[in-house]
Amino acid sequence: MPLIKEYTADRLIVKIFDNRNSMGEEAAKMVGDKIRKLLYEKDCINIIFAAAPSQNEFLASLISQKDIEWHRINAFHMDEYIGLEKDAPQGFGNFLRHRLFDKVNFRSVNYINGNAEDVNDECERYSTLLKQFPPDIVCMGIGENGHIAFNDPHVAFFNDTKLVKVVELDSMCREQQVNDGCFDSIEKVPTHAITLTIPALISAEFIYCMVPAKTKANAVLNTVMGEISESCPASILRKHRSAVLFLDVDSADKILNRI
C-alpha cells in the first residue's frame, strides 16, 4: 500500500498516496470493506456515487471486487445537468451507467432526470427516494472551486432546508468540465443542474472522498486547512463523524509540506 502520509484535519482523515491509481485502489478497498460490514448488519444498504473523471480509478477497482453483494445495494447519484440530450456522454447518470450501474447487479439504480418536464417536481421525487432510502455511504469528489456535488460556493448552504434542488453553476465549475475534457468549450456546458444538497450528502453515516490531480490542489488546501465555511463547501467534511479524504501527491501538493 503506497500510502505516503496520513493526517487528521479536525475529524477528517486525510490519506495521501504516491499516485492516483494507488489512491483509487486503496479507496475502493476501504469502501468495499465497509460495504461488506454493513451488509453483514443490514438486509440492504444505500450508496450515493459521484460522476467525474476523478472517480475512474476508484470505480474500476470497486467493481473488480467479486464478493460484494451488489443485489442488496440501492444506488443513487448526486447531481445531473439540466437540458442535456438523453444519451449525452456528459450526463452524470450516463457516466455512471457505463462505468458502474451496468457493470454489476444493483438492487435498484435511481437516476436523476435532468430532462424532467418540471425539474422542481423531479427534485421532490428524488428527495422522497432519499427519505425512503437514507444513504449509508457517499462516494464523492471535490470540485476545483471546493464544491461537493453541484453545491458551488454561491449556492452551498450547510443548513439547507432542501435535500435536492436546482442550482445555477458558477463559471469556475463550468470551466472545470472543460478542463476535465468533458466538453469542448464552456459555451457547451449547461448553466443549471439538479444537485443533492450538503445536508443530504453529509447525512450519510460514512463518506469517502476521492480527489486526484494538481488542478484540485487549491481546493484541497482550502478544504483541509482553510476556514470551515460555505466559501469552500468541502470544508464541512472536517465536521463529519466518519469521513476519509483520499489524495494523490498532485492534489496534495499544497499541503504535503505543512502537515
pTM: 0.96
- For 182-230, the pLDDT digits (tens) are 898 999 888 999 999 999 999 999 999 999 999 999 999 999 999 999 9
Counting residues of the chain whose pLDDT is more than 70, the rounded percentage is: 100
- Delineate the domains of the chain, giving CATH numbers in brackets: 3-258 (3.40.50.1360)
* Grid cell listed for 42: 443490514
Q: How far apart are CA 104 and CA 85, in angstroms?
A: 25
Counting residues of the chain whose pLDDT is more than 90, the rounded percentage is: 91
- pLDDT the model gives residue 135: 98
- For 38-97, the pLDDT digits (tens) are 999 999 999 999 999 999 999 999 999 989 999 999 999 999 999 999 999 999 999 999
The amino acid sitting at 245 is L
Do 196 and 129 contact (CB within 8 A), yes or no?
no
Q: How far apart are CA 110 and CA 93, in angstroms?
A: 9
* Grid cell listed for 88: 449525452
- pLDDT the model gives residue 1: 61
> pLDDT at residue 116 above 90?
yes
- For 78-88, the pLDDT digits (tens) are 999 999 999 99
Judge residue 75's burial from the number of C-beta atoms within 10 Å of its C-beta, 0-12 exposed, 13-18 middle, 19 or more buried. buried
212 — alpha (psi -120 to 50), left (phi > 0) or beta?
Answer: beta
- Interval 231-259 mean pLDDT: 97
